[in-house]
Amino acid sequence: MTTSSADIERIEREAKQFRSEYDVLKKEIEKVIVGNSDIIDGVLCAAFVGGHALLEGVPGLGKTLLIRTLSQALDLDFSRIQFTPDLMPADVVGTTIVIEGEKGHREFQFRKGPIFAQIVLADEVNRATPKTQSALLEAMQEHQVTAAGTTYKMEQPFFVLATQNPLEMEGTYPLPEAQLDRFLIKLDVNYSSRKELRTILDRTTEGYDVEPKKVMDGQTLLKWRKLIREIVVAPHVKDYAIRLVLGTHPGGEYAPETTNRFVRWGSSPRAAQAITLVSKFYALLDGRWNVSYEDVKRAATPALRHRIIPNFDAEAEGKSNDDIVADVIAAAPKVVKDEEFATA
């Protein structure tokens, strides 16, 4: 697809407006959240791209607070689901009940569950059983819920922001691979620095109280989603993203030694879609109408880290998924001089 000069000028003009409104939204979140700028960008990326984000970190790092703060800054319906071992699928999607009328006439009626919101916080999602976790699958992928043969569409924009504790913690269940693959990105939330902890203490122990203002509505969010998809990805840059995904497939043509040695299953085609969309977001955030190699590299780790299943050797030698992705990136040349992707 070619982009005319008029389209480029329009995109560049709208990119400046996007950055201005984005900065306002981020500043509202930063009134409450201290540090973790990259994590805030990642969560906002999911919102603007139209995907779902999974935040992993030990308790107390502000994962839930970040998502709740975002919901306060966006004029969207918000729902929080606290995942526990006894939570059932019907507690998430809803259930069919019998309603009795005035003359004794009975009819079935579907009562929608908390999944029917525009922003859904799936809090500590890996503390529920896999059966309950799977209740999110249809809503996350197809933006709909089917119950008793009837399909109910989700109101747009719709996205799920989930938090989870590290799998090594007691009382957690690993998310099914099909569930993980539906998350656009996975964000690892780390400990705060010394300076950030001081600010956190000042805000939480000395009467600091602020309520984020609603600065963006759903229609504006949908407008920016459309603009993000107009950002151009050149064929050779798109091929670079594709080869990064293929580099996670053991035994494949583009798999480095690390992949062949430590990976049991690699990433699905959704990974290539995620890298491309996240790359477009970062390009637009930088005020550009086209995606660069650096945008792709920046998008690769959050888009791939949860889509790789390591083997026993990786666990035995302490090789993390982030380590594997880093090796895949290091081994992939930016340009392959073949077919239509040749640039020289």
Residue with tokens 């998008």: 299
Q: What is the pLDDT of residue 344?
A: 38
Average pLDDT along the chain: 88
* Confidence category of residue 54, pLDDT binned at 50, 70, 90: very high
* Confidence category of residue 278, pLDDT binned at 50, 70, 90: very high
286: domain CATH number? 1.10.8.80
Strands (E), 83-129: 94-100, 106-112, 119-123
* Confidence category of residue 339, pLDDT binned at 50, 70, 90: low
Shared domain check, 278 and 139: no
Domain range for 303: 231-344
Shared domain check, 292 and 150: no
208 phi-psi bin (left φ>0, alpha ψ -120 to 50, beta other): beta
What is the C-alpha to C-alpha distance for residues 142 and 19, in angstroms, rounded to an integer?
29
Which run of H or E residues covers position 151? Answer: strand 150-153
Shared domain check, 313 and 173: no
Give the DSSP letter of residue 306.
Answer: T
Tokens describing residue 272: 């290539």
Shared domain check, 268 and 210: no
Q: pTM to 2 decimals?
A: 0.88
Shared domain check, 201 and 170: yes
The 10s digit of each residue's pLDDT in 198-224 is: 988 888 887 777 888 999 999 999 999
Pick the last residue of a domain from 162, 186, 217.
Answer: 217
Shared domain check, 253 and 173: no
What backbone torsions phi and psi does residue 85 show, to the nearest 5 degrees? -60, -25
Is 338 a residue whose pLDDT tops 70? no
Shared domain check, 32 and 140: yes
Shared domain check, 263 and 209: no
Number of separate domains in the chain: 2
What is the C-alpha to C-alpha distance for residues 27 and 145, in angstroms, rounded to an integer?
35
Contact 134, 179 (CB under 8 A): yes
Contact 11, 227 (CB under 8 A): yes
Shared domain check, 195 and 121: yes
